[in-house]
Structure 1
Amino acid sequence: MSASQPVILVTGSDIAPEALDLLTNYEIVFAGQRPTEDDLCQLCEKHDPVAIIVRYGKINARIMDAAPHLRVISKHGSGIDVIDQKAAAERHISVQSAPGANAAAVAEHAWAMILACAKSVVPLDQRMRQGHWDKSTHKSVELEGKTLGLIGLGAIGARVARIGNAFGMNVIAYDPYAKTLPDGCHAASLDALLHNADVISLHCPLTDDTRNMINRDTLALCKKGAILVNTARGGLIEDDDLLRALDDGTISWAALDSFPVEPLTAPHVWQHVNNVILSPHIGGVSSTSFVKMGTAAARNVLKVLAEPMESAGALP
């Protein structure tokens, strides 16, 4: 590897070998598993990268200013809320994402969590290990004929919808930006969705409009005993309001894969809540999606760096 090769900074400790194979003309610098803002600024000042592939952490204006030749910030995945897009646009830095690269993985994880809630997988396992046999008293939730409400209907939400149809559920969705609906899926207002859905699954990006959209007021609209699953972004939910809804039975179960501040460190609010299932934001990470996200992020970098300087700009 030549010392004169331009640098691509990866805000993580690895990317797929298939992605690295696409970037052989560049020196790849890894920032480590949990890089801080100061870490990233120091690496940018030292290496002056032309591109940043974002796996972990946030990219703000200070980090961008530490890399004067930075031309593209490419998300290893679809959620670009961790990148200051306004600051990037002001600096003519392109912001790229890889929508759909992890859609199968996230949709499957959402269904794993839905089923775990509906079928009481975790508490039944715990009870069995304690020596109990609850066959005569336990009743699980049968999903056939129930209503699945999807908030967000992109690549992931559409997959979840199709699986809901396979289970024989009534599938409704709220997404003001969706141009088409999957077969068997019907549009609904947010209020109508919350009022009718037995299972609510979040699949929308985190924006100023969606931040804390699941709160005291919207939870009050929910059908008593609904299941809430979030494999999207933690900031969509007001945690304290969800905690109250879980306590009073408005929500019977919640399953959370994303959190407003990550990683969660003990003690945290969910640690002793029995009707919550937790996973550490791994819904989109499978052996297959890891390759898809890495290669998509790499190709996005190469696409922008191949453009003339004057045409490279931030994407919406």
Structure 2
Amino acid sequence: MTEAAKPRVLVTAADLAPAALELLRDYQVEYAGARFSEEQLAGLVERHDPVALIVRYGQITPRVIGAGKSLRVISKHGSGTDNIDRDAAAARGIAVKAAVGANAAAVAEHAIALLLACAKSIVAMNARMHSGHWDKATHKSIELRGKTLGLIGLGAIGRNTAAIAHSMGMRILGHDPYARDLPDSIAAVPLDRIWAEADAISLHAPLTDETRCVINADTLARCRDGVIIVNTARGGLIDEPALAAAARSGKVASAGLDSYAQEPPPADHPYYGIPNLILSPHVGGVTRDAYVSMGTAAANNVLAVLGDTKQVFNGGTVQ
């Protein structure tokens, strides 16, 4: 089959792991690039008429979905699908799939890294050292052993985070109305107990109408003084001005944040300039290993929907 005759898969990024491309060898893979507008993406969908979208970046809106006549599956290069309009896809009979668990270890490690950075003042001490200061006589960090970690969301990432924290001697409280068969190390509790008892709270929930701004002025007020907040899930889980105010007041001792309501955040974002907020650019799941596992899982999800049984499974979870 010539390249021109192959059905097309459009990737909303500039690249895809070689192992994923091998799985898609019977398809012509096109790329949207690293940055694009809704209009540009819709134009690419109309032009290439792909049978599948593999979504790494960008919002997949009704306009984008409606631009493709042959589109049959939208496959997320990751676990969260809140940037895909599932209703618009369902209305056209287009399947939406996620690479569930493919980056769980990577994101959990990043959550723990942010938690440790907050508890141990790593970023601030690094800056002080580079400025010639030696704060050994005055610095006191937080020991996490024996402290309580509250997890909101107990999917693969939340459970991986819990396992690492438990191995550090932390007490684990978790809230997830859909979680089943939890390990004995996680105590399933209502949110009220997390606000009241957690020394640190880590977010691992999807962004839904129920979870939007679950961290807000009211819930922060009910937390322990000096609580640590970690978010490696979705920025919309947090009322960002409320968290900024709590960090400035000291109600929140520090926060480690990897996701934002708008990405990239605007230049006047309320987090900027607050020294006890540690920020990273939504890279929790961006490791060399996760890049491959998410790519192959996304490719396998495409093939599963298209009924292409000629391909050989090569890592990742088809969901």
TM-score band by shorter chain is over 0.9
Q: What secondary structure sits across from 2:21 in the alignment?
A: helix
Letter in 2 for 1:6: P
**CA offset digits 1:131-157 (Å, max 9, x no partner):** 111111111000111001100010011
Q: 2:296: which partner in 1? A: 295
Q: 1:163: which partner in 2? A: 164
**CA offset digits 1:48-94 (Å, max 9, x no partner):** 11100000001111111110110000000000000000111110000
Identity of aligned residues (%): 56
Q: 1:173: which partner in 2? A: 174
2-side partners of 1:66 and 1:168: how far apart?
52
Q: What secondary structure sits across from 2:84 in the alignment?
A: coil
2-side partners of 1:5 and 1:171: how far apart?
51
Q: Which runs of 5+ in 1 are unaligned?
A: 308-315
The 5 Å alignment of 1:44-193 reads 44-193=45-194
Instruction: Give the drift of 1:34.
Output: 1.2
TM-score norm. by structure 2 comes to 0.95
Letter in 1 for 2:223: C
Letter in 2 for 1:278: L
Q: What secondary structure sits across from 2:154 in the alignment?
A: coil
Q: What secondary structure sits across from 2:10 in the alignment?
A: strand
Letter in 2 for 1:60: T
Instruction: Give the drift of 1:217.
Output: 0.9
Q: What secondary structure sits across from 1:228 in the alignment?
A: strand
Letter in 2 for 1:119: K
1:26 aligns with 2:49: no
Letter in 2 for 1:123: A
Q: 2:39: which partner in 1? A: 38
Letter in 1 for 2:190: S
Contact 1:229 1:256 in 2 (8 A): yes
Q: Which runs of 5+ in 2 are unaligned?
A: 309-318
Letter in 2 for 1:70: L
Q: 2:230: which partner in 1? A: 229
Contact 2:12 2:55 in 1 (8 A): yes
1-side partners of 2:229 and 2:269: how far apart?
19
The 5 Å alignment of 1:6-17 reads 6-17=7-18
**CA offset digits 1:153-208 (Å, max 9, x no partner):** 10011011111111111111011111121231101110111110001000000011
Letter in 2 for 1:296: A
Q: What secondary structure sits across from 1:280 in the alignment?
A: coil
Higher mean C-alpha displacement, 181-190 vs 191-200: 181-190
2-side partners of 1:211 and 1:268: how far apart?
18
Q: 2:244: which partner in 1? A: 243
Letter in 1 for 2:121: S
Q: 1:263: which partner in 2? A: 264
Runs of 4+ with deviation above 3 angstroms:
none
Q: 2:273: which partner in 1? A: 272
Instruction: Give the drift of 1:265.
Output: 4.1
Q: What secondary structure sits across from 1:118 in the alignment?
A: helix
Instruction: Give the drift of 1:264.
Output: 2.2
Contact 2:240 2:271 in 1 (8 A): no
2-side partners of 1:248 and 1:265: how far apart?
23
**CA offset digits 1:200-224 (Å, max 9, x no partner):** 0000000111011111111111110
Aligned CA-pair RMSD: 1.3
2-side partners of 1:154 and 1:66: how far apart?
33
Instruction: Give the drift of 1:250.
Output: 1.2
Q: What secondary structure sits across from 1:95 in the alignment?
A: strand
Instruction: Give the drift of 1:266.
Output: 2.7
Higher mean C-alpha displacement, 284-293 vs 265-274: 265-274
1-side partners of 2:3 and 2:133: how far apart?
64
Q: 2:206: which partner in 1? A: 205
Contact 1:234 1:258 in 2 (8 A): yes
Instruction: Give the drift of 1:268.
Output: 2.6
**CA offset digits 1:73-132 (Å, max 9, x no partner):** 000000000000011111000000011000000000001000000000011111111111
Letter in 1 for 2:262: V
Contact 2:78 2:100 in 1 (8 A): yes
Instruction: Give the drift of 1:267.
Output: 3.9
